[in-house]
Amino acid sequence: MSASILVTGGAGYIGSHTCIELLESGYQVIVIDNLSNSSEIALERVSELTGKSLHFYLGDVRDRPLLAKILKEHKIDAVIHFAGLKAVGESCQMPLAYYDNNLNSTLALCQEMELAGVKNLVFSSSATVYGAPEKLPLTEDMPLSATNPYGRSKLIIEEMLRDLPEADKLTQAEVPWAVILLRYFNPVGSHKSGRIGEDPKDIPNNLMPFISQVAVGRREKLSVFGNDYDTVDGSGVRDYIHVVDLAKGHVCAVDNLVGETPVQGVEAVNLGSGTGTSVIQLVNAFSSENDVAVPYQIVGRRPGDVAACYADANKAFTLFGWRTELSIRDMVKDTWNWQKSNPEGYPES
The domain locations on the chain are 4-341
Task: Compute CA distances 189 → 116, 193, 328, 336, whole Å.
Answer: 36, 11, 9, 8
Q: What is the pLDDT of residue 63?
A: 98
CATH fold of 4-341: Rossmann fold (3.40.50)
Q: What is the pLDDT of residue 134?
A: 86
**pLDDT-derived band at 1, boundaries 50, 70, 90:** low
Mean pLDDT score, 205-232: 95
Q: What is the pLDDT of residue 132?
A: 85
Show which residues are catalytic.
Answer: 150
Q: Which residue has the higher pLDDT, 205 or 179?
A: 179
pTM of the model: 0.96
